[in-house]
Amino acid sequence: MYQVVTAVIALIAQIAPAVSTAGTIAKIISSLVALLPALVKFAQDLIPTVKNIIATLRSSEGITPEQLEELDAIEAKIDADYDEASAAAAAEDAAAEAEALGKV
C-alpha cells in the first residue's frame, strides 16, 4: 500500500504546478481526500509533500473559493490526524517507560 500511495502522491506533486483549471484541481482534491486514510495509516512521511501540493494548488489561477475551503479541510484533517497519532505514540512511549521503570 505504501508504494501505491507514494507513487500517486509523487505523480500529483509533479502535475500540481501545471494545473490551472478548476476541473483538474477538483480531481486532485478528490484524489487527496481519497488518499487521506492511507496517508495517515501507512505514509505519514509523505504529509509534507501533500502540504506542498496543497500550497501549490492554493496558488493556482483556476482555483475556486469552494476548492480553497476543501483544501483547508484536508489540511485540518491531516493536522488533526497527525496530532492524534503523535499523542498516541507519546502515550505508548510513556507506558513502556513506566513499565520498564516498574521492572527495575
Q: What is the pLDDT of residue 69?
A: 97
Q: What is the pLDDT of residue 41?
A: 80
Give the separation between CA 10 and CA 6, rounded to whole angstroms.
6
Q: What is the pLDDT of residue 104?
A: 58
Which residue ranges of the chain lie beneath pLDDT 50? none
Helix 2-15 × helix 22-42 angle, to 10°: 150
Q: What is the pLDDT of residue 102?
A: 78
**Stated pTM of the model:** 0.80
